[in-house]
C-alpha cells in the first residue's frame, strides 16, 4: 500500500547541515521502491535565522512542524550566538513543546569498532533519559549578577507524573529485551528529594514487571562502570542531566560521538517524535566534510523503527554494521562526510 511519511527536517547549525544531507540520502535510498515516499519540509532554523530575525523557533513554525509524522534534526549551537539561546530556544523548545519525555539513546559496540577499553565485552544497552523535566526546565535565576555576591539557581523539577511515565517506559523496554535488566541511575544519597521520588517510583512500577531485574547506581559510580564494565548495562533509566552526561561517555566507549544516535520520543504519538545524533554542531570541524554522518544515519534507523518500517530500519543498521567493519579492516580509506553517506545509501539501495 502506498504511503507517505511527512518529515520535518531541521539541519540546524555547523555539521548538522552536513550530516543531515547524508541521513536524507540514506532515507530516500532505503525507501526507494518500497511504496513509501517521504515528503520533506526543510526548516532553516538555527544561527542563520537568529541573526536575520532574532528568532529561534517562531510559534507559527512550531505549529507547522507539529503537523508532520516525525522530525529529523541535525544539531544546534553556534559560537556566534550566545550560549543557550539556540539550545534552549530551539532544541529544548521542540523537546518540551512536543512532549518528548522519552529521550532514547542506544549504545552498542559494533563489531570491529575501536574502543578505548582494553576488554569491552558485549556492549549493548539503551539509556532512557527523561526529556522534559529535571534541571532543564529553566526554573531558576540569578541575583546580583556580576557582583561578588551573585547567586545563581537552576532548580531541578521532578514530578510524580513525569518520573512515573518515563520509568514505566523504561521497564517496558527492559521487559522486551532478552536480558530484562533495568538500572536506575541517580544520586539519592545527596539529592534526597528528587532521588527518593525516582527510587520509590522504580520500586512501585517495578512491582508490575516482576521479570525485570532492578539495579541501582549513584551517577558517579555509574561513570566508573561505564568504563570498567559497560556490558553490565541493559536498560538505564535516569534524569535529564545525568542522561545527557552519561550518553556522551557511553558514546566515547562505543567508538565515538560520531556513531551515537538518539530519539526524542513521545510514546503517546500525539506529536511527532524527533530523531537526531547525540553530538552537537562541532564548530571545530564544521564545513570541512570531516564529520562522521553515521550517528545521523543511525538516527534515521530509529525514526524508521518508530514509524513501523522495521525492515528498512534493519537494512540501515546492517549497512552501518558492514561499513564499520570495512573501516575496521582498513578497507574504507579516508572519506568525506558525503562519501560515507554515498556508501551507506548505495548499501541500502
Ligand X SMILES: NC(=O)c1ccc[n+]([C@@H]2O[C@H](COP(=O)([O-])OP(=O)(O)OC[C@H]3O[C@@H](n4cnc5c(N)ncnc54)[C@H](O)[C@@H]3O)[C@@H](O)[C@H]2O)c1
Task: Tell me the catalytic residues.
Answer: 136, 187, 220, 244, 248
Residue 72 found at the interface with ligand IPM (CB under 6 A): no
**Which three cell numbers mark 290?**
570531516
Residue 92 found at the interface with ligand IPM (CB under 6 A): yes
**169 annotated binding-site participant:** no
Cα 349 from Cα 263, distance rounded (Å): 24
Residue 94 found at the interface with ligand IPM (CB under 6 A): no
**83 annotated binding-site participant:** no
Q: Which is nearer to ligand X, 175 or 245 (CB)?
A: 245
Smallest distance, ligand IPM to C-beta of residue 295, A: 11
Q: Which of these ranges, 180-188, 200-208, 239-247, 305-313, lies near Mg ion under the rule CB under 5 A?
A: 239-247
Q: Which of these ranges, 20-28, 50-58, 84-92, 207-215, lies near ligand IPM under the rule CB under 6 A?
A: 84-92
Residue 338 found at the interface with ligand X (CB under 6 A): no
Residue 305 found at the interface with ligand IPM (CB under 6 A): no
Q: Which is nearer to ligand IPM, 16 or 255 (CB)?
A: 16
Burial class (CB in 10 A: 0-12, 13-18, 19+), 342: middle
Strand-strand pairing, 102-108 and 124-130: antiparallel
Question: Taking the mean position of all CA atoms in its chain, how far away is CA 140?
Answer: 25
List the one residue from 9, 47, 75, 98 that touches ligand X (CB under 6 A).
75
**224 annotated binding-site participant:** no
List the one residue from 22, 234, 244, 323 that touches Mg ion (CB under 5 A).
244
List the one residue from 7, 91, 261, 265 that touches ligand IPM (CB under 6 A).
91
Burial call 112-150: b when 16+ CB within 10 Å, e when fewer: ebeeebeebeebbbbbbbbbbbbbbbeeeeeeeeeeeee
Among residues 70, 69, 61, which one has the least CA distance to residue 93?
61
Residue 91 found at the interface with ligand X (CB under 6 A): yes
- Residues making contact with ligand X (CB under 6 A): 15, 19, 75-77, 87, 91, 257-258, 276, 279-285, 291-292, 295
Amino acid at each position: 500500500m502506498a504511503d507517505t511519511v511527512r518529515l520535518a527536517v531541521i539541519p540546524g547549525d555547523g555539521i548538522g547541515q552536513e550530516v543531515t544531507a547524508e541521513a536524507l540520502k540514506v532515507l530516500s535510498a532505503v525507501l526507494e521502491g518500497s511504496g513509501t515516499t517521504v515528503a520533506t519540509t526543510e526548516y532553516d532554523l538555527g544561527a542563520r535565522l537568529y541573526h536575520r530575525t532574532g528568532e529561534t523557533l517562531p510559534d507559527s513554525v512550531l505549529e507547522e512542524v507539529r503537523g508532520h509524522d516525525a522530525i529529523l534534526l541535525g544539531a544546534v549551537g553556534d559560537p556566534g550566538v550566545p550560549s543557550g539561546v539556540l539550545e534552549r530556544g530551539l532544541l529544548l523548545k521542540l523537546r518540551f513543546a512536543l512532549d518528548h519525555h522519552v529521550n532514547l539513546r542506544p549504545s552498542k559496540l559494533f563489531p570491529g569498532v575501536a574502543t578505548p577499553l582494553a576488554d569491552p565485552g558485549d556492549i549493548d544497552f539503551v539509556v532512557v533519559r527523561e526529556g522534559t523535566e529535571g534541571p532543564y526546565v529553566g526554573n531558576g535565576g540569578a541575583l546580583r549578577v556580576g557582583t561578588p555576591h551573585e547567586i545563581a539557581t537552576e532548580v531541578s523539577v521532578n514530578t510524580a507524573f513525569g518520573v512515573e511515565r518515563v520509568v514505566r517506559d523504561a521497564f517496558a523496554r527492559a521487559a522486551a529485551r532478552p536480558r530484562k535488566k533495568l538500572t536506575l541511575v541517580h544520586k539519592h544519597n545527596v539529592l534526597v528529594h528528587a532521588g527518593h521520588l525516582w527510587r520509590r517510583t522504580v520500586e512501585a512500577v517495578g512491582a508490575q514487571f516482576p521479570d525485570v531485574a532492578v539495579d541501582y547506581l549513584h551517577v558517579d559510580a555509574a561513570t566508573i562502570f561505564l568504563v570498567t564494565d559497560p556490558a553490565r548495562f541493559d536498560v538505564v533509566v535516569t534524569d535529564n542531566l545525568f542522561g545527557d552526561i552519561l550518553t556522551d561517555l557511553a558514546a566515547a566507549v562505543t567508538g565515538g560521538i560520531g556513531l551515537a544516535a538518539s530519539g526524542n520520543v513521545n510514546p503517546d504519538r500525539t506529536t511527532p517524535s524527533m530523531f537526531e545524533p547525540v553530538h552537537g554542531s562541532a564548530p571545530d570541524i564544521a564545513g570541512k566534510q570531516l564529520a562522521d554522518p553515521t550517528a545521523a544515519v543511525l538516527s534515521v534507523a530509529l525514526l524508521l523503527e518508530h514509524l513501523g518500517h522495521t525492515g528498512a530500519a534493519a537494512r540501515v543498521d546492517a549497512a552501518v554494521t558492514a561499513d564499520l567493519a570495512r573501516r575496521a579492516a582498513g578497507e574504507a580509506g579516508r572519506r568525506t562526510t558525503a562519501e560515507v553517506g554515498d556508501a551507506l545509501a548505495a548499501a541500502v539501495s
